[in-house]
């Protein structure tokens, strides 16, 4: 391990990284923490994103490929004692690898150009675990972008970053976007705006999903407010065939996004999805 090991939890470098656990400091420094080998690996695959890497001696051996990739990219690598890593990490059992990263979000117009086929929009979503899971699901479903509105959780929240399992670094992400302006842009880019909500008259079984679509997903407890529902082209509910009262947000989002992705990929060449 190059250099001496960081052992003082009050050292300036450790304190500078630790404060990124708070949103105000993340926004001030335009930086956030990516914890764990999966998140760090995906962050390192995005040139210029990682600015510092902290690793324990044990993790340096276990994840030598990450350390080598960081050094090859000119990223400073700092050894950290177990106490320091526990101070920096936001998990109960740290995996010994943690990176400081630059913000990666982009403007809405850049994230959603004309021709985009599938977009997930999180509006009034407050739980970072749910938000990160939706981001991961959107990535897996082949979405072109994920938009976090100004009423939703910060995607750089540590729990959200971990729940995204690296997908935060895979596709364009927009943050703090006003809902009305977002919907207007989505429509101008040629996407049909669908609100996923239990108030929908039609279900996924009733709606043609073969064309470009943007899905609006709402709060975990009370869904989408009326003013947001009114912005959508159509309000769609996920059918419940059994006795469950409802699906949680992340599961409902997965069902909706995959329904659109499948319909778009199986539509005939001269059908609604043809461009």
pLDDT tens figures, 238-257: 998 998 888 899 999 999 99
62: left (phi over 0), alpha (psi -120 to 50) or beta: alpha
Strand, helix or coil for residue 149: strand
Say if 198 falls within a structural domain. Answer: yes
- Does 128 share its domain with 248? yes
Out of 77, 102, 127, pick the residue that ends a domain: 102
pTM of the complete model: 0.91
pLDDT in tens, 10-55: 999 999 999 999 999 999 999 999 999 999 999 999 999 999 999 9
Q: How confident is the model over 104-130, as a mean pLDDT?
A: 96
Q: Do 49 and 127 reside in the same domain of the chain?
A: no
Q: What is the CATH number of the domain that holds 137?
A: 3.40.1280.10
Here the CATH number for the domain that contains residue 74 is 3.30.1330.30
Write out the residue range of the structural domain in which residue 59 sits: 12-102
Reported confidence tier of residue 267, pLDDT bands at 50, 70, 90: confident
* Co-location of 248 and 137 in the same domain: yes
**For residue 275, is pLDDT > 90?**
no
147-151: average pLDDT: 95
Integer Cα distance of 248 and 220 in angstroms: 7
**Section 187-203 average pLDDT:** 94
CA distance to 69, 76, 175, 198, per residue, from 201 (Å)? 52, 55, 30, 8
Q: Write out pLDDT tens, residues 68-108.
A: 999 999 999 999 999 999 999 999 899 999 999 999 999 99
Parallel/antiparallel/unpaired status of strands 97-102 and 50-55: antiparallel
**How many domains is the chain built from?**
2
Asked if the model's pLDDT at residue 272 lies above 80, the reply is no
């Amino acid at each position: 391990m190059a250099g001496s090991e960081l052992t003082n939890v009050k050292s300036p470098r450790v304190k500078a990284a630790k404060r990124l656990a708070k949103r105000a400091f993340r926004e001030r420094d335009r930086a956030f923490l990516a914890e764990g080998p999966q998140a760090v690996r995906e962050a390192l695959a995005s040139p210029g994103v990682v600015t510092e890497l902290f690793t324990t001696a044990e993790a340096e051996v276990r994840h030598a490929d990450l350390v080598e990739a960081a050094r090859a990219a000119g990223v400073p690598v700092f050894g950290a004692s177990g106490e320091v890593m526990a101070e920096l990490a936001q998990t109960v059992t740290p995996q010994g690898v943690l990176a400081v990263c630059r913000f990666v979000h982009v403007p809405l117009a850049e994230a959603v150009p004309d021709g985009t086929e599938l977009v997930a929009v999180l509006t009034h979503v407050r739980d970072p675990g749910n938000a990160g899971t939706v981001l991961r699901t959107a990535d897996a479903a082949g979405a072109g972008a994920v938009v976090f509105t100004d009423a939703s959780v910060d995607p750089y929240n540590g729990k959200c970053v971990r729940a995204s399992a690296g997908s935060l670094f895979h596709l364009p992400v927009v943050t703090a976007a006003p809902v009305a302006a977002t919907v207007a842009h989505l429509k101008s880019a040629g996407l049909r705006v669908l609100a996923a909500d239990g108030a929908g008259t039609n279900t996924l079984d009733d709606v043609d999903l073969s064309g470009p679509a943007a899905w609006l997903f709402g709060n975990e407890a009370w869904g989408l407010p009326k003013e947001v529902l009114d912005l959508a082209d159509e309000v769609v509910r996920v059918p419940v065939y059994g006795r469950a009262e409802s699906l949680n947000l992340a599961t409902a989002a997965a069902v909706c996004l995959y329904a659109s992705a499948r319909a778009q990929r199986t539509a005939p060449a001269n059908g609604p999805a043809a461009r």
